[in-house]
Structure 1
Amino acid sequence: MAGLEIENVRAGYRGREVLTDLSLPPIEQGRITALVGPNGAGKTTLLRVLAGLLPACGSVRLDGLNLLDAPTGERARKVAFMPQFVPQRLSLTVVEAVIAALRASPMDMERTSVDAQQRALEALDRLKILDLALQPFDTLSGGQRQLASLAQALVRQPRLLLLDEPTSALDLRYQQQVIANVREEARKGMIVIMVLHDLQAAASWADTVMVLSGGRLFAHGHSRDVITTLTLRQVYGIDAVVEHTARGGVHIQVE
């Protein structure tokens, strides 16, 4: 079956369980799914499980392949993860860092240097940061590092793209640029899951919103049905008036 299926996943840190038998409805290809919820709900933990950075029990099937049992190389070919905090100390230029990310996939290890460089430059150009290609990675600003990290993820053309707060360090112009690129990749059949704290951004950018609370799924569906007064009260512990706009946005007024 094409898509992502997550069933009865349990995972945590140092004996503390964060995800408790977490099951999600099937996540279809070609769509952007936003994971929202309070701190400690398990959002980033789930991304780390999907990326193979955290051991877990249960079943995670991508196009029928159980990622929890898949060889590292097979997972690297299909899944790319962009963390919220990108390492600052990296003694490579931006284009070299993107090429290194491309070669992390077994399918791309044998690419010629010219071909790999071309792919990397195309990824940077799509994000409008081609001018950073020769700049040392460790001299970038926080927003520039975030964009370069996204280029590292997109250059591999993964089946599953995992983004943890992908626009947290970006100004409004680059936020829209990033989301436009991510949406374009999704239209090509990629599965995109992004963690967002901003509920207004989740409502505007995602096709489906999934609310996590206490390591379990609280609600899922269109933002209009999920981001509600009841959700904010029961999940976030706040009283607020929620108004949805005709264009899919949301306005939240905390009482």
Structure 2
Amino acid sequence: MVAPKYSRVVLKLSGEALAGSLGYGIDPDVVNTIARQIKEVAESGVELAIVVGGGNIWRGVAGSAKGMDRATADYMGMLATVMNSLALHDALQKHDVDTRTMTAIEMREVAEPYIRRRAIRHMEKGRVVILAGGTGNPYFSTDTTAALRAAEIEAQVILMAKRVDGVYDCDPLTNPQAKKFKVLSYIEMISRGLGVMDSTAASLCMDNKIPLIVFDLNQEGNIKRATLGEKIGTYIGGELNGEGDH
């Protein structure tokens, strides 16, 4: 069996990924498929932390744009990530994957509070850790959460699961001439405004030299392929001579 290239990773799932073709809410069949892929990765020995978005239930920015207090809207978004995390936790447990959900906002009845060293210890024991509740602060996205937690737990890479097979110079769903990037630097990603993640998250990744792999979640087995270092999706890193040969 081929050994994984990355031994500790952060997997970033958008809330929309859990909605599937429904476009909103949680599709149990989609969550089950994702859980099956995660089990495969966990069984390969990779230490895995997962950050889940909440956009399938609520978007704080959207609420704020319609006049709601931004902090209140963002806290609602954090609660949405907890709902998604619990759904994923349940699916993983049904697949016999030892899982812990940790939240940045304390709610002991449903999850453990996020404590960095405890999260690392869980992963060292082979448990999948789901990191819910964003950073616990308004005005920060779950992309920023993924970057922050990856730095804290010393993850080697962030795997960004999307509904497209990489990063393009424009929307491939509306423009068939869109060009796909195989490799990008952080600076290119930011300067081109490619929308992979917000500028705060991108800066965190750049400052801490955490590479990103953006890939298609809909193709089953891609999460494991990414951990093995196979050339899928788009690799985003600092130096493009060396690691950039992804």
Shorter-chain TM-score range: 0.3 to 0.5
TM-score of the two chains, using structure 2 as the length reference = 0.32
Higher strand residue share: 1
TM-score of the two chains, using structure 1 as the length reference = 0.31
* Structure with greater Cα Rg: 1
Identify the structure with bigger relative contact order (alpha carbons < 8 Å, sequence gap 6+): 1
